[in-house]
Structure 1
Amino acid sequence: MELSLAHPAIKAFVCGSFSGTCSTLLFQPLDLVKTRLQTSQSGMQPGSSRVGMTSVLLGVVRTERLLGLWKGISPSFVRTIPGVGIYFSSYHSLKQHFFQDSRPGAAQAVMLGGGARTVAGVVMLPITVIKTRFECGRYSYVSVSGALRSVCRSEGPTALFSGLMATLLRDVPFSGIYVMFYSQAKASLPQEISSSSSAPVANFSCGVLAGVLASLVTQPADVVKTHVQVNPQLRTTEAVRYIYTAHGLEGFFRGAVPRCLRRTMMAAMAWTVYEQMMAHVGLKS
């Protein structure tokens, strides 16, 4: 079936999957560095040396070669291709159902983004758990399917949904806040820019601004989520206490720089590519 003849939700799924694939391939190293920073044992004891983004990056290249920066790319692709597709398909369907003839306001944009992310987050959580474990360097998984079987056999299927609450507390507000800032920033653009050839650049700039703000607000939940998924014996509240005891309030912002860079650039690129593709297939994003 040709894309031009497909259902609008399927078109949105295909456009979203393609945009997510491009952004994941480019920015996977930042996600790996972020995960290593959050799960590093260095800097936990008084007087121990502080681990920074640059030292982690160089350490990975030195011990795992340059391609080591893309460790976890297979589960990232397995999660991103359908996950971003599900997100944009859900977003488009919700928007068409509730706001077909009107532009969503700020509060409605938060609900649209949060609702779409809830659907995608729950469906793709098992792959997110595997991806986090691949990146942290503590597990010797060979493939995504092998990792799924290993977790189910040794820890039970429920382990694949570890960190669900922390994931939703991170992703739902991020997506809601992001869509709100992004849509409001786009709406403030002059009409001549929105309809010109420079529209992709303007959309990307709006996405960068929205991504920085949303990333900073949701950073503590991301740190908690990472600890719960790497150490499944921890509950969310226990992870919060552990991080605070070991690192203080500063611990909730470990990995903020690479995560902010990655989430901001990925979201900005994903939305820019998505909107361009949606326009190409004749649909409003």
Structure 2
Amino acid sequence: MVSGANDSNTPAIVSLAAGGVAGGIEAFTSYPMEFAKTRVQLRSQKGIPTPRNPFLVVTQVYQKEGLRALYKGCGALVVGSIAKDGVRFLFFDQIKLAFADPTTGTLSPGRNLLAGMTAGVVASITAVTPTERIKTALIDDARNEKRFRSGIHATRTIWAEHGILGLYRGFAGTTLKQASATAFRMGTYNILKDYETKRNIPQNTATNFANGSVAGVVTTLCTQPFDVIKTRSQSAKGTSTAEAVKSVLIDYGVIGFWKGTTMRLGRTVFSGGILFTSYEAAVKVINPLYSGVKHKVGIEAEA
């Protein structure tokens, strides 16, 4: 049995807290790459084409608007990532218990992917779709009308104009992306850890980072079309999933569904390593604290 994300002995509250911490750290440190990827995927403004090179997007925005502009919408993503990864790790750990082999306590590769997919759907419904909607709308609005003053203001405006459904624009694309991304990311990571554990390969920071990075590459290449559709659906004005698909085909053809792959690949390799390394580290810190508090409460209750 491996530790951390693959440890059935990790208490639910620890999985939730550690996942939230890891998600917040990952979102903040990798946000400029997420910003550039989103800008590239959005439709170009008339007369102001968006550079195809996402690194050029970062450079241009930094030169014209400063570092702060590269973090437009970051607050919404960090909040969403804390909730998303808290829920994702919590449900993945709990779902694994139901899917695990009763004799060995381990999961087959197929069950690993199924557990990740289920956790991804739950995360999309509870946290990801509305926060991704706000993040994308803020990034799009910053280059057009500039009517959103903050994430909270954008939330209130979208709610007032479209109701709760406005916050769930792009739900289909987001859920497909989350289900497949979580399946590939969590599944690949745990498959690698199971493989290493059987061969007595030590689990340390370097191994965790490498496993997370490999999981990030697999995730990006397999789920990029869903990410592009999600971004188009969640622009400032919003659009349906069908309209988003149509606009991508009109603008770029089939290859357009892999728009922003370079930057997202860079981000997921980096963020995948950061996410799982942070999670493993957070579990090691939070678990003893939780056990200590639980033990103290038990003693006081007996007294």
Paired amino acid for 2:153: G
Q: In the aligned structure 2, how far is the partner of 1:49 from the partner of 1:113?
A: 34
Aligned to 2:5: none
Checking the alignment, whether the CA contact within 8 Å between 1:133 and 1:230 is kept in structure 2 is yes
Residue 66 of structure 2 is aligned to residue 62 of structure 1: no
Q: In the aligned structure 2, how far is the partner of 1:66 from the partner of 1:233?
A: 27
Q: In the aligned structure 2, how far is the partner of 1:109 from the partner of 1:76?
A: 26
2:252 to 227, 235, 247: 247
Task: Report 1:240-279 matches (<5 A).
Answer: 240-279=245-284
Q: 5+ residue gaps in structure 2?
A: 1-9, 291-303
The verdict on how the C-alpha distance between 1:182 and 1:234 changes in structure 2, with shifts beyond 3 A counting, is: same
Q: In the aligned structure 2, how far is the partner of 1:183 from the partner of 1:44?
A: 47
1:111 to 109, 114, 139: 114
Aligned to 1:148: 155
Q: In the aligned structure 2, how far is the partner of 1:278 from the partner of 1:103?
A: 20
Q: In the aligned structure 1, how far is the partner of 2:21 from the partner of 2:238?
A: 36
Deviation track 1:26-61 (CA, whole Å, cap 9, x = no partner) reads 10000000011111417999xx78531122111110
Aligned to 1:208: 213
Over the aligned positions, Cα root-mean-square deviation in angstroms equals: 2.4
Aligned to 1:12: 15
Q: In the aligned structure 1, how far is the partner of 2:47 from the partner of 2:193?
A: 43
The verdict on how the C-alpha distance between 1:233 and 1:83 changes in structure 2, with shifts beyond 3 A counting, is: closer
Q: In the aligned structure 1, how far is the partner of 2:50 from the partner of 2:24?
A: 37
State the secondary structure of the residue aligned to 1:15: helix
2:24 to 4, 21, 26: 21
Taking structure 1 as the reference length, the TM-score comes to: 0.87
Matched length: 272
Checking the alignment, whether the CA contact within 8 Å between 1:43 and 1:49 is kept in structure 2 is no
Aligned to 2:182: 175
Q: In the aligned structure 1, how far is the partner of 2:191 from the partner of 2:168?
A: 34
Checking the alignment, whether the CA contact within 8 Å between 1:74 and 1:144 is kept in structure 2 is yes
The answer to which of 137-146 and 174-183 deviates more is 137-146
State the secondary structure of the residue aligned to 1:82: helix
Q: In the aligned structure 1, how far is the partner of 2:47 from the partner of 2:107?
A: 45
Aligned to 1:92: 93
Shift of 1:231: 5.7
Taking structure 2 as the reference length, the TM-score comes to: 0.82
Paired amino acid for 1:21: G
Checking the alignment, whether the CA contact within 8 Å between 1:12 and 1:85 is kept in structure 2 is yes
Deviation track 1:79-118 (CA, whole Å, cap 9, x = no partner) reads 1112211111111221234427511111110111111111
Residue 37 of structure 2 is aligned to residue 34 of structure 1: yes
